[in-house]
Structure formats: structure tokens, C-alpha cells
Amino acid sequence: MVSDHCGSGLLLDLPDDVLVLVTRSLTPKDLCRVGLTCRALCELVASDKVWHAQCDKLGVIPYQDLIEWRKGVSSYKAICRFIFGIQPLLGIWVHQNPELGNVVYIMPGFISVVGCRIIPQELGPLGLEDGPILWAPVFEILCDYEGSAQFYLHGRERESDFVYPGSLKAVDRTCNVLLLEVEPRLRRNGGKLVQSKSFAYDRDREQLEKISRLDGGASKSQRIVGLNASGVPFSRLAFGDRRKLLDIVTRQVGLEVPKAKNVLLFPRLKSDVDSIKDLAELAERRMLLMQMYKLGGSSSVSKVDSRLLFDPTQLDMSEVRKNLNCTRGCEISQSGDGDQIQYAKKKTIAGYFRDSFKNILRKSNSIGSSHEFSKRNSSVSGNKHAQLHEFLYSGDTVGLTLHAATVKLSTYRAWPNMHDSRFALYKLPMREPVPGQEFSGLWGGTFGWPPGKPNEDKLGKALFFLLLSYEKAHGQNLLIATKILEGTHYVLHPNGSAMFIVNIDEISPDTFPWETDRDGNVIDVKNAYTGEGIANGYGFRYPGSKPGSLYVIQDGLLAFVWRESRSVLTLQRLSIENLLKKGERMPALPPVSNFAYLTRSYTNVFAAFSNPSNGQSSQR
């Protein structure tokens, strides 16, 4: 009678298909609340049918693929929890260095999400639609049997593939910055790890002074517990200290992955027979990574490296201090092969003064180049770096952490203003096409006509990725094409620059220079708009512009033609996910550089890691 009065009886009497339709209108959180009302509804909303519908409603994983995911997870509810948690990560992330690369696309994998770097490249003879696109893995987040997330950074050392396990912080729903950090933790309650907290720097300093003044005789463990209440955030450390910590931790927690087990990260676009084979290989690889995550790469707990206590993703702080002592008098240098510690001779007093003076100059230059960013983020980062020893005493273990945060960022023509010294990726806002803004989204293409394929006298054409967005300025409705990837050997246009800007309210009087396409078909121009395209002008960072027109052609093609030179940039909409699924995987960079290559470079640093079969095309 109670269930009838509270309305649960009506729901329980509904057919399963109708019940699924009813519960589909609820959010996952609301569905969990319904389960708390009474025992009968609790059992009802725990059914796989209800949560399968919730997973499908999120729209991240195709309906049929969810069935394959369910084979490796305890329930659809666990899958839904995982998808809901990582959904804000999906999309395009970028960094401005180097100018030719650092475009990372995060997409669903196999019971996981995968971050893939698009390698700057030229189109092969098959063109954009049929030719394989080159990519390299950056990181992946696996869903374990209970729906929890396991983070793995990818990298390459000694000609072998490695993964670097870590943790994933709770993802902000509106995240726009993805940070790779080192996080200290405390071990309590018989060895369990708990996450340390972070407060303002003044409180950290006050706590340190109080402990040194009142608790001079306290033991090391007591000092650690006392400092945990006001730990030092990783972002507060100086750039050199952050780089050292990331380098040390990745070298200690890295796990080598057998090459035969590390070919696929997601199913390819193949026939049904090949798809079944891919799924079997992916399932085997996933089990291997999950075992490595739990056991540190060993087949039994007794074989776990003694440096990794209680949790293979965590490194004992004593190991960090020992490695830091080994690197005293060393410098962090950057090269095409990544960031490595170069061991030097013991410094003299004059050497210390000389290096200190260099650091002052370097900091002043950094402050000058990123003054606005620092001003906007002063409440987060503070005006003064925290000391490394404060960070080291805020926990007794450390591990890699992926942190998807929301920060206040300014943008210029859809390109975020970035900090040069953050191990971070920045999310590009992707807007779906709507009436009046039909061209919003990601487009890809090349210079030249006909579109998509190289001419017979050329080996290839540089592949460009452009983000098209709308903006109102001076009473005009503008369509702006922002460059995010350029497939040349030496960059010609800076990242974030506008390849062209057109006024969609002004019809162009110019006619399209060509009458037919490659196959001899007559060109049907739907619309033409007046605008300006990028040109050599005031220098690399401040290019000029020259007049031109944007033509909307049949079959969904766009073509911008410079009026004077008759150069043409042809574009078509892209599905990066499909391109990656039929693309070709390249080796990754060393781990820290692989996440965000911070060294400013105008050449294709990623092409050196291509295999011989693609070396000619990718390195041109």
C-alpha cells in the first residue's frame, strides 16, 4: 500500500520498454535520487536496461558499441558514471608551441577515452578522404571493471613504448584547461593514500613557520601530517621545479608495454571480420594495462618495485628527494627529443651568481610576454613562487595527475591566450552549425585546385585544419577561419592566426576562376562573400592581409581565393574521429614533452619520429 501511495506501483506496473522511455527523460543524478525513495524503485533503477538508455542518451558512444563495452564492465551504470565523468574532456585541445603541432583530439576508445596528437603532414596521393592521417598517442583514460577512471600518460624511451600511470582529478563540467601535474599524498589508516589539500601560499608559509617554531622536535611523520592541511599546489612552484618533478616521477613510474600489445588504442574502420579481431586485441590490451596499473607491471604483488608503495601510481617521497639530490648542479635542457636532465660539473660560486642572473633575465622576459595572463590568474597562481621543499613536505608520496580545470581565459578570434610555461592543453570551443551560422566547426583542406588531391607534378600538399567561427565587429557579421594546424615543414602562418575573414552580409562581385573540377564537372557556386586573406605584412606574428572572396561550392566545399594572386584554399568538413580510425599511428615523444611540447619551434619536431614508410611525406 505504501508503494502505491507514493506512486512507485504505477512505475513498477509499466512494461519495460515504456519504463525505459520514462526514465530516459531523467538525468543520471535524478535517476539515482529516484532509487533512494523506496526499495522497490531502488531495484528498478539498478537494471541494465534503464542505464543502457542513459548511456545512449549521453550520445558519446554508439548504441552497438555500448554492448561491447558492457562485456568488460560490471554494469551499464558503471559505464554511465565513467562517460558522464569524462564527457567534458572530449574535443580539440591545443597549445601554441610548437607552431606546427600540439593539436590533441580526445575521443572515445575501447572502454576508454584516448588523446591523439595530429601530426603535421602532407596529403598523400589518395587525398584527405582516403589517405591515412598520421597521429601519435598522448594519453588515455581507461574505465575499470567498476567504472573508475585509470589515467595513463604515453611516451617513448629507449626505442620502446611506455605508459606512465597516474590519477584523474574530478573533471570540471566547464573545463577549458588540461594540466599535467605532480600531486603529493599522505598515507593514513594503515597505508591508504589520501589526497592532500591545497590552500593559499600565505597559509602554507604560516604553517611552516609555526611548525619550525613550536614543533622543532617533532618527528618527520608528524611534520608531514601537520603540513597536509595546507599543502603547496603544484602550480605554485617555479617552472624549473615543476619540470624536474615531472621528469623524476615519470622516469620512476614508467611501465614498458610490449610492442605487440600496444598497436591499437581504438577500433579501426575496417570490415566486420577485422573489427572482431580488433576488439579481441583491444580487450587483451586493456586487461594488461589494468593489471599493470594495479601491480606496477609485475605478475604478482610480491614483485612490485619497492619504490612504489601501496599504489603503483605513487612514488615514495624519499625517492624524489634522492633524485633531486642527484640532479643538484644539473640543468634542464630542451631538445627535439624532449626534456632531459643534463648532468654537469659541480658549480662554482661564480657559476651560481651567473645562473641566478640568467634566471632573473629569463623571468623578466617571461613576465613581459605573459603579463596579461599572469594578471588574470593572480588569484590562482599568486605573485610569488612557492619553495620546492615546502611541496616535498606536504605528503609522503607523489604521483602524476591529470587535472581538467576551469580558468578565466581571454581569446582572440577563437584562439585562447596561453601561458608559455604551463604543462597544459587548452580547449577550443566547438559550436554546432545553426541557421545563420552554417559554417561553424572544424574544416580541413589544402592550397590549390582541384581540391583534396595533389597535382601530378607534386608529391603532396600541406594539410591545414581551420576552426570557423562567427563574430560581430563594427556592425558586421564576420566569419573567421582560425588556423590550428599546418602541415608544412617550416611554419608559414602562426597558430591562432586568421587565414581569412569574410563579411557574410556582403556579396562578392567576383566570379570563381575555374569552371570545372578534376572530373570535368561544372562548378556550381552557391554563394560568394567578400573578405580578406592572410598575406606577408608586418612580420610572422603580425601578418598582413589582401582582398579575396569566399565561395560556397556544391558538395559542401568552401574555397577562399585571393584576388590578386588567384591562390585558392579549399576546405571541407572533417570528422577527426573517422580520420584517426583509418589513420596510421606514429611513435610518441618522451613523456613530459609528449603531453605539451613547450619548446618554441617553427619546424616539424614530430616528423622525426615518423617511420621510414611515411618519412618522405611527413617530413617535407
Residue pLDDT, tens place only, 78-90: 999 999 999 999 9
Cell numbers found for residue 413: 578570434
- What is the extent of the structural domain holding 40? 2-87
pLDDT at 461: 85
Question: Would you say residue 498 lies in a domain?
Answer: yes
Sequence-ordered list of residues with C-beta below 8 angstroms from that of 550, at least 6 positions apart, any chain: 479, 500, 502, 508, 528, 529, 531, 558, 559, 560
Instruction: Give the integer Cα–Cα distance in Å for 13 and 375.
Output: 60
Domain stop point among 69, 87, 105: 87
Pick the residue with more confidence: 380 or 31? 31
Question: Would you say residue 282 lies in a domain?
Answer: no
**How would DSSP label each residue in 414-444?**
TEE---TT--EEEEPP----BTTBTT-EEEE
pLDDT at 544: 87
What is the pLDDT confidence band of residue 393, given thresholds at 50, 70 and 90? confident
Domain stop point among 87, 108, 127: 87
pLDDT at 205: 38
Kindly give the interhelix angle for 48-58 and 28-35, rounded to the nearest 10 degrees: 160
Q: Is the pLDDT of residue 191 over 60?
A: no
- Give the pLDDT confidence of 467-522 residue by residue, as tens digits: 999 999 888 999 999 999 999 888 888 888 999 999 999 999 999 999 888 777 88
Of all residues in the chain, what percent carry a pLDDT higher than 90?
Answer: 42
- Give the pLDDT confidence of 530-583 residue by residue, as tens digits: 999 999 866 677 788 999 999 999 888 999 999 999 999 999 998 899 999 988
- This prediction has a pTM of 0.81
- Give the pLDDT confidence of 89-107 residue by residue, as tens digits: 999 999 988 988 899 999 9
Cite the beta strand spans of 291-406 per DSSP E.
314-316, 331-335, 338-342, 397-405
Question: Would you say residue 323 lies in a domain?
Answer: no
Question: Would you say residue 453 lies in a domain?
Answer: yes
Question: Would you say residue 111 lies in a domain?
Answer: no
Cell numbers found for residue 448: 590549390
Candidates 279, 283, 259; CA nearest to 271 is 279
Number of domains in the chain: 2
Which contiguous run of DSSP H or E holds residue 363?
A: helix 349-369
Question: Would you say residue 205 lies in a domain?
Answer: no
Question: Would you say residue 201 lies in a domain?
Answer: no
Candidates 288, 283, 289; CA nearest to 267 is 283
The answer to whether the beta carbons of residues 429 and 415 sit under 8 Å apart is: no
Question: Would you say residue 53 lies in a domain?
Answer: yes
Sequence-ordered list of residues with C-beta below 8 angstroms from that of 611, at least 6 positions apart, any chain: 586, 587
CATH code of the domain covering residue 71: 1.20.1280
Domain stop point among 47, 71, 87: 87
